[in-house]
Structure 1
Amino acid sequence: MIALSTPVSLPPSPPRLSYGQAVMSLGSCFSQSIATRLRAGALDVLVNPFGIQYNPLSIAAALERILEERPFETDELVETSGGYASLLHHGSFTRRRREDALELMNSSLERAAAQLQRLDFLLLTWGTSYVYRWGETGRVVSNCHKLPERLFHRQRVGLDELAACWLPLLERLFTLRPELQIITTVSPVRHLRDGAVGNARSKATLLLLSELLAERYPEQLHYFPSYELMMDELRDYRYYAEDMTHPSELAERLIAERLTQWWLSPEAQRGIAEAERLLSELRHRPLSSEPEAHRERLERLEAKLAAFYRKYPSALDLAALV
């Protein structure tokens, strides 16, 4: 039989994730997609508490802020065309009123700090090693919020600078949570602003960072090859979205399936499949002409939910995810 792709061998699995364990996901839009799927399976996953972040230095800054539990203040906001924003947050945190923006940012910070205190797994997805630095301070930002480009300085960060940031940060995390397990992966989304060569060099830096950290903490830091799966097993433009840079929904699902098989316990894998079916039923909207049929369907659904929670008592409330 002719092979139509290059199989990617997965590394040894990390300790398996089960219901009742706490997860936090930080990183790119690919991280958001994967973590949202895990959360839809009723696993205890906190997804991107600062919104989508692309580079390792911004992700590190978010983790440091969570460790400090230091609330955001008014002088940390910038005014944009959409309202008040934070340079450490995604645009989804922008609000017309300062007070609303700060309330949203600080409530998310509080949830993240609480999750960190009991965290079992941290999922980190690196997107690019290119960063934007705010001209006034030189600090790396997570999002430019469409402010004038002259206010920022863009550069590709090298491995030495990334390692100097992440090695002491990992020490702090392992001091707080000695049994913490960390999964790193490189986003398969291509960043082609700097061309194919620039993207390749950027991704190579991220791959080397993951390797360096895993070599330093081989028992607690594990690499999952999302980027490699996309580049080799799914090397076909039918697996890309229309922009030809992002994976299609099918590709994301295929990579997510490999990740769950590699990472999740057999119990959690079965639970996710059941939870997805139940969530689909919960989201069903009945026809107004079928009230009796809808009542009977709800009774059957309540029985299914009760059976699900008997099997997985630590699962999240699926109704809250609708």
Structure 2
Amino acid sequence: MLPYRLKIAGLGRYLPRRVVPNAAVEARLGLTAGTIARTQAGVVERRWAEDDETNSMMAAAAAREALADAGIAATDLDLIINASGSAEQAVPDGGALVQRELGLGASGIPAFTLHSTCLSFLNALDVAGAFLEAGRYRAILIVTSELPSRALNPEDIESACLFGDAAVAAVVVPTPPGEPAAIERVRFETFGEGADYTRILGGGTRKHPNDPRTTPADNLFEMQGRKVMMHATRVFPPFLARLGEDLARGEGVDWVVPHQPSALALKVLDRFGFARERVGVTLDRLGNCGAASCPATLYELVRDGRVARGHRLLLVGTGAGLGVGGLVMVY
């Protein structure tokens, strides 16, 4: 039961080497200069992975930093959760690939993937908190490695300019006695009526890669941005009120650490009265990095000292499906 006595003991982040400014995307798509700025996506540049920067390679790089930050050896982990919406391959599960990349391939440490698109990291925190509270595990590595650039549709300007690649890792442990760190509130809601608004049809049994009827377009990302925005703005306010009435008034937390869907989506937070200087934003420099967006923003806030131990945070976001989720935690 809540609260979960969970402490984020260490954080790590890996950003692909290649920085892609809007001008490069416009040239690639054959667009006139300034087209992306007019979409109001809010992205100035993003990172796109090179061929050698795989999901597992990026995840392991972020994990090594998180482990060093926590002062924990990789061999001391007793669970790895690969919380990612993009998979390196269909089989095996990505958790095994991350485990092997960390040099733990013979360790027997359990590893599995939790995939709920852009909410994967938040769901993993919830699951890890329950595991720690039950005493099942003592040192859990959560890794989120996203490469949405691999499935972007060059014909869809809205999504082609929005997404970036990134990997983030967190080492979570039981909160030591006398420390305040905890997950205090958690809520997730799914509205399957919006399942077709954001999708990749291929990659599964519906559009099997060996079926001659499957086309290359089936393996590209589709997003009906207007429908997603309208649906999200309808369900998000009551969701936030159910997570906490104080949150619906823009109160109760020191920082809001949101998923970074778009500039327009981030403006929705203004309606609740959250001070803009207390809302973490990385969208302009990293783009929408899927499930990595929220923890990538948290990483930055912690590293530059804006978020400190004892601060109360609202981590919140939306995901394909259509899902909304959030948690209030003391860092």
TM-score, normalised by the number of residues in structure 1: 0.26
Larger Rg: 1
More strand by share: 2
TM-score, normalised by the number of residues in structure 2: 0.25
More helix by share: 1
